[in-house]
Amino acid sequence: MSTPPSTAQDIAALEEQQARLTLPRFTYDDAWRLGTLLVELARERRAPVAIDVRRGPQQLFHAALPGSSADNDAWIDRKRRVVERYAESSLLVGTRFRAKGKDFDTDSRLDPDRYAAHGGSFPLTVEGAGVIGTVTVSGLPQVEDHALVVEALERFLADG
pLDDT in tens, 63-113: 999 999 999 999 999 999 999 999 999 999 999 999 999 999 999 999 999
CATH of the domain at 142: 3.30.450.150
| 31-51: average pLDDT | 98
Number of folded domains in the chain?
Answer: 1
pLDDT value for 1: 45
Mean pLDDT computed over 113-126: 98
Q: Which helix (H) or strand (E) holds 125?
A: strand 121-126
What is the mean predicted confidence (pLDDT) over 26-52? 98
Neighbours of 111 (CB within 10 A): 10
Domain boundaries, position 81: 27-159
Q: For 101, which DSSP code?
A: T
Q: How far apart are alpha carbons 77 and 119 in whole angstroms?
A: 12
Q: Does residue 11 form part of some domain?
A: no
Quote the CA–CA distance of 79 and 119 in Å, as a whole number.
7
Residue 129 zone, left/alpha/beta (φ > 0; ψ -120 to 50; rest): alpha
Classify residue 1: in a domain, yes or no. no
Flag whether 12 is in a domain: no
**What percent of the chain is modeled with pLDDT above 70?**
99
Domain-located, residue 87? yes
Percent of the chain at pLDDT exceeding 90: 94
Query: What's the chain's average pLDDT?
Result: 96
Is residue 64 assigned to a domain?
yes
Q: Is residue 8 part of a domain?
A: no
pLDDT tier at 2 (50, 70, 90 boundaries)? low
Could you tell me if residue 127 is inside a domain?
Answer: yes
Question: Is pLDDT at 127 greater than 70 in this prediction?
Answer: yes
Q: pLDDT digit string (tens) for 25-38? A: 999 999 999 999 99
